[in-house]
Structure 1
Amino acid sequence: MEILGYLLAVVMGFTLGLLGGGGSILTVPILVYVLGVEPVLATAYSLFVVGSTAVIGGAQKHRQGLVRWKTGIVFAIPSLVAVLLTRLYLVPAIPETIFRLDGFSFTKDIAIMVFFGVVMLLASYSMIKDRKDTSEQKEKPFNFPLILAEGLIVGVITGLVGAGGGFLIVPALVLLVGLPIKEAVGTSLVIIAIKSLIGFLGDIGSGQDINWTFLLLFTACSFAGMFIGTYATRFVSADRLKKGFGWFVLAMGIFIILSETVFAV
């Protein structure tokens, strides 16, 4: 199973490199269901994998001139504060057993995975739906309250489930700021890198027992897949694959919710 987990890390990275986002949503399911990592620790590992991968992608977008640093920093500040506070205080504060019902215990681990399944459903919708052409739209004045609120929401979600949240950040940058889609994607990667790695530092500070050998090997596999996926974009239609991957994420989200609730009873 361990070899399968590393192979799936390559697949996850390949998807991320090919589609420019979305692949990291598979990190926690791979860690939990294939490699047997407990959910809270899996979300911590995911923060490192997602953040490290976003650094590579963000650097590539910066060289292409597709990162709006001012916008990214304004969005990132409330987001990283939220993710850090979530990892340091909210996650440890969740009781190990939330409630019991007819012999079924709804535990902290189950709650995190169910919430993760819901996030996957939202992410799948973002991947499946058709995007309008935003390349010619005009940039809008900063809507600071909405951007701050979106940053806080994304930060809490990232802190709870370890997902990058690009499926929330990119639409926010397009709709609230008026960025063209390519610049929104590039700026999103910078935001994801900052908040994910800061959140992971919060886990180190809270005393999480990190298996660095395992984590670095898993991350290296995802990097390898990402570079292969980036190369494959020259030959494959990313838009069609993104929709197909969105349907796969939808199915995975439903499976996670059912397996942690209905099938577990």
Structure 2
Amino acid sequence: MITLVLAASVLIGVSLGILGGGGSILTVPILIYLAGQDSKEAIATSLFVVGVTSLVGLIPHARAHRVRWRTGLIFGSVSMIGAYGGGRLAEYIPGTVLLVAFALMMLATAVAMLRKGAGRKKAGHKAPHAEMPVKLVVTEGLIVGAVTGLVGSGGGFLVVPALALLGGLPMSIAVGTSLLVIAMKSFSGLAGHLSGVQIDWGLALTVTAAAVVGSLIGSRFAGRIPQNTLRKAFGWFVVVMGVFVLGQQLPTAVWTSPAAWIGAALAAAVAASWTLAGRHRTRDDAAATPETTRELSTRS
């Protein structure tokens, strides 16, 4: 069993290194179903594993200049405040409602990632070393932190799209910067859990060591994967995890209902048509660019 735990732990690190997310949502099930921990101990342990793994995985991204330090530090600091407020609010909302809402938000985020082309805006990406405006970073940090506090996980799944889609950062830089934010939030959350939970430090360190190896492997691949491919991989990974969370939370009667399958098929059709429409617009814009250039040069 320990071999299976270690193999799965490597995948945690690979996910964080390549995608900048997926750590907590993978670590908790591994610790519960493979290592036999209870839910509270698994959550606390996962915060330690993900925090250390993200911090180590941050190093190769930083060396490759794929981290926006000011953006990450401000985002992480503000998201801690939002996470605290979200955690307090979560006491008054049923857990199933929170997780279902989180899963739906993950699916919406995935559609946006698959459609918008690595978070590109019409004006293009920011300069490679430009930082995001402070007001935008603070606003996004508060919102992402509040949602993370509400559902108790999902840091990277929210941070990466916020940096890429709303902030206009290239995916590789959004991934590197998200590791800084995740590390900050994980250690902050761990500090809150340690007062009431005992951690099996032997298991925690073993899982962390395997995850660190995976993160170093993943971060090396992250810089070599094309931006469009990285974005699609992240988007589809979020789709899979969102469907998994929904499957765990919704009752069996919902999934066996014909209406649910018809609704899912319609939603998939709409998402597919939306994505294809975005691709056609991108191709049309690309095709028009050379013509526009020739026309301008002719006029001049």
Superposed pair shares fold, TM > 0.5 = yes
What amino acid maps onto 2:203 in structure 1?
F
Distance in 1 between the 2:169 and 2:245 partners? 34
Question: Is residue 16–residue 23 contact of structure 1 (8 Å, CA) maintained in 2?
Answer: yes
1:90-105 equivalence runs, <5 A: 93=91, 98=94
Query: Which amino acid is 2:60 matched to?
Result: Q
The residue aligned with 2:14 is: 14
Deviation at 1:180, TM superposition (A): 4.6
Distance, in Å, in 2 between the alignment partners of 1:122 and 1:220 is 34
Given that residues 113 and 165 in structure 2 are in contact (C-alpha distance below 8 angstroms), is that contact kept between their aligned partners in structure 1? no
Give 1:154-165 correspondences, 5 Å limit.
Answer: 154-163=144-153, 165=155
The root-mean-square deviation of aligned C-alpha atoms, in Å, is: 3.7
Are 1:121 and 2:121 matched, yes or no? Answer: no
Report the structure, 1 or 2, having the larger helix content: 2
Residue 201 (structure 1) aligned with residue 200 (structure 2): no
Other-structure match for 1:214? 203
**How many positions carry a matched residue from both structures?**
248
1:256 equivalent in alignment to 2:242: no
Mapped partners of 1:237, 1:256: distance in 2: 29
What is the identity, as a one-letter code, of the residue corresponding to 1:50?
V
Change (3 A) 1:243 1:203: same
C-alpha separation in 2, matches of 1:252 and 1:246: 10
User: Is 1:131 matched up with 2:121?
Assistant: no
Q: Residues 143 and 177 of structure 1 are in contact (CA less than 8 Å); yes or no, is this contact kept in structure 2?
A: no
> Which of the residues 206, 215, 225 maps onto 2:214?
225
CA–CA distance in structure 1, aligned partners of residues 101 and 39 of structure 2: 11
232, 240, 243: which is aligned to 1:243? 232
Alpha-carbon distance change, 249 to 65 in structure 1, aligned in 2, over 3 angstroms? closer
- Give 2:267's aligned residue: none
Q: Identify if the C-alpha distance between structure 1 residues 192 and 210 changes in structure 2 by more than 3 Å, giving closer, same or farther.
A: same
Cα displacement string for residues 120-148 of structure 1 (whole angstroms, at most 9, x for unaligned residues)? 4356446544315577536587252x432
Match of residue 170 from structure 1 = 160
Q: TM-score, normalised by structure 1?
A: 0.72
Change (3 A) 1:45 1:74: same
Alignment-derived partner of residue 153 in structure 1: 143
Which residue is 1:78 aligned to? 78
Instruction: Identify if the C-alpha distance between structure 1 residues 239 and 214 changes in structure 2 by more than 3 Å, giving closer, same or farther.
Output: farther
Gaps (5+ residues) in structure 2?
255-300
Distance 1:116 1:32 in 2: 20
